């Protein structure tokens, strides 16, 4: 089962040091987004939030992986 991108983002965000949350993590449509502003967009399921998740996967900041352990 794949962990959805939103859950993966929120798990990653929760594990960030507080100081890192103010760093720019993505630029979407020419606008920079910090981890904090990205979290707001992702939590509200906005179109920008979806684009931020796509950027983070493309940059391999978020790694889509299965949550099941291999046999």
The answer to whether residue 30 sits within a structural domain is: yes
The answer to whether residue 19 sits within a structural domain is: yes
Give the ranges where 1-71 is alpha helix by DSSP (H): 5-14, 35-43, 47-58
The answer to whether residue 71 sits within a structural domain is: no
The answer to whether residue 41 sits within a structural domain is: yes
- Buried-exposed string 12-35: b where 16+ CB fall within 10 A, e elsewhere: ebeeeeeeeeeeebbebeeeebeb
| Model pLDDT, residue 1 | 38
The answer to whether residue 64 sits within a structural domain is: no
The answer to whether residue 21 sits within a structural domain is: yes
The answer to whether residue 13 sits within a structural domain is: yes
Low-confidence ranges of the chain (pLDDT < 70): 1-3, 65-71
Number of structural domains, the chain? 1
**Domain limits at 28?**
5-58
The answer to whether residue 15 sits within a structural domain is: yes
């Amino acid at each position: 089962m794949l962990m959805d991108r939103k859950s993966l983002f929120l798990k990653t965000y929760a594990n960030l040091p507080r100081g890192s949350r103010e760093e720019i993590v993505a630029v979407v449509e020419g606008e920079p987004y910090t981890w904090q502003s990205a979290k707001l967009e992702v939590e509200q399921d906005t179109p920008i939030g979806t684009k931020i998740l796509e950027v983070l996967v493309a940059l391999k900041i978020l790694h889509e992986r299965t949550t099941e352990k291999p046999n």
